Structure 1
Amino acid sequence: MSLQHALLTSLVEKPCSGYELARRFDKSIGYFWHATHQQIYRELARMEEQGWVQSTEVEGGRAGKKEFAVLPAGREELQRWAAEQSDPIRLRDDMMVKLRADAAVGPLGLADEFARRLRMHEQELHTYRDIEQRDFSTTPLSREAQIHYLILKAGIAFEESRVQWTKEAIAMLRGDEST
């Protein structure tokens, strides 16, 4: 997936300024596809050059403020991309290599770093649970909301498994480190 396709998706949902898009992105797609605000602005310019989006000056806004909307070519590109097959991502986590190094050369004192990561996973899980409570506690849900909830559930399942696994890793490492 490219950042452009993530941005097209957000703009199909709601045309907006680059700043608004970056803020919305951080609160939604940004949970599973990270991009800096600078990257977003750069890609918006490229997408406009490709004829996928069009910007218009916002009247009454600050000077130079533009709102972006998806053009038919952008919608066609999003549909083309969505129809492509894609393989699941492979795990790429340097902590797995550090664990292998620990196994190969002896205790490296990794338990504290795993404890720090555990707090991060617990915080992310807490954030996801707050979103779940706030946005998906009423039924029935529209099809769009059901899909958004399905995506959130994937994040919840991932963080729950990481919390459980990280606790197991800490217990094993602390047992090793105490000998």
Structure 2
Amino acid sequence: MVCNRLHSLMPILSGHFQLCNGLHSHGGVSTLPHMPLAHALMTSLLEKSSSGYDLARRFDKSIGFFWHATHQQIYRELARMEAAGWIDSMAAPDGGRTRKRVYRVLDAGRDELLAWAATDTAPSDLRDDLMVRLRADAVVGPLGLQPELQRRAAIHAQKLAAYRAIEARDFPPGRTPSREAALQRHILHLGIRYEQGWLDWTREALALLVEWDGAAVESAPSAP
């Protein structure tokens, strides 16, 4: 759904940090530097123990919308988390037909996730080069940014349609959601509002440029 992708509820961060001088020990429990990706992966594994491949695919379609990570980053993070004692893995129950290993969260990992979730964090600031380009346009323009705004509008319209399709599929009207599902739907609604807000703003920016520069442009995509 999202930020480069709810690839976009927040600016995209990889969650990739260097592990310096091996693992550090705190209170007898192995720890890693502050890595939001590790906590995102443990959350996904607590929802369902998975192989690395299956986890990466599920991550793309859920948490990855607002905390993007490549499959390579996910595999590296799993190895670090296992070395830290937060997760372990075992051969997949497939009779040895594959080399898949299924990961699960250990008590130490659950404790780390609980501690991390209770930590205060600051909201992420908006950081988008388009804002700087528009400021430059205001000073030395017109710079002909309409095509870029059109492209951005199309991207946001596509993501908005994807989020609404997910809502219709996973949270149909008339179904009483569990607590877990209600929170998941609320996160999805932020993605919907985010993309709708960006789509509206982009259309307004296009109209503003037309008003001042007098250049005709194609209509920005409408909300689905």
The normalised TM-score by structure 1 is 0.96
Corresponding position of 1:35: 69
1:150 alignment partner, one of 172, 179, 186: 186
State how many pairs are aligned: 179
Q: Following the alignment from structure 2 to structure 1, what is the Cα–Cα distance between the partners of residues 91 and 176? A: 39
Task: Tell me the amino acid that sits aligned with residue 197 of structure 2.
Answer: S
> Mapping of 1:64-103 within 5 angstroms?
64-103=99-138
- Checking the alignment, whether the CA contact within 8 Å between 1:109 and 1:177 is kept in structure 2 is no
Runs of 4+ displaced beyond 3 Å: none
1:168 alignment partner, one of 190, 201, 204: 204
Deviation at 1:59, TM superposition (A): 3.5
Deviation at 1:172, TM superposition (A): 1.1
Corresponding position of 1:117: 152
Larger deviation: 122-131 or 166-175?
166-175
Q: Following the alignment from structure 1 to structure 2, what is the Cα–Cα distance between the partners of residues 59 and 161? A: 46
Q: Following the alignment from structure 1 to structure 2, what is the Cα–Cα distance between the partners of residues 174 and 71? A: 58
Q: Following the alignment from structure 1 to structure 2, what is the Cα–Cα distance between the partners of residues 168 and 106? A: 18
Q: Cα deviations across residues 78-137 of structure 1 (Å, max 9, x unaligned)? A: 000000001111001010010111111111111100101100000100001111111111
Q: Following the alignment from structure 1 to structure 2, what is the Cα–Cα distance between the partners of residues 129 and 6? A: 23
- Checking the alignment, whether the CA contact within 8 Å between 1:52 and 1:70 is kept in structure 2 is yes
Alignment root-mean-square deviation, CA: 1.2
Deviation at 1:62, TM superposition (A): 4.3
Corresponding position of 2:16: none
Q: Cα deviations across residues 3-26 of structure 1 (Å, max 9, x unaligned)? A: 001001000110000000000000
Q: Which runs of 5+ in 2 are unaligned?
A: 1-34, 216-224
Q: Following the alignment from structure 2 to structure 1, what is the Cα–Cα distance between the partners of residues 121 and 163? A: 25
Q: Which runs of 5+ in 1 are unaligned?
A: none
Q: Following the alignment from structure 1 to structure 2, what is the Cα–Cα distance between the partners of residues 8 and 62? A: 26
Deviation at 1:158, TM superposition (A): 0.5
Give the share of equivalent positions with the same residue, in percent.
57
Q: Following the alignment from structure 1 to structure 2, what is the Cα–Cα distance between the partners of residues 151 and 109? A: 36
Corresponding position of 1:130: 165
Q: Classify the secondary structure of the residue corresponding to 1:55.
A: strand
Corresponding position of 2:81: 47
More helix by percentage: 1
Q: Cα deviations across residues 38-69 of structure 1 (Å, max 9, x unaligned)? A: 00000000000000000111142543211000
Deviation at 1:149, TM superposition (A): 0.3
Deviation at 1:30, TM superposition (A): 0.8
- Checking the alignment, whether the CA contact within 8 Å between 1:107 and 1:176 is kept in structure 2 is no
The normalised TM-score by structure 2 is 0.77
Q: Classify the secondary structure of the residue corresponding to 1:54.
A: strand
Corresponding position of 2:25: none
Corresponding position of 1:104: 139
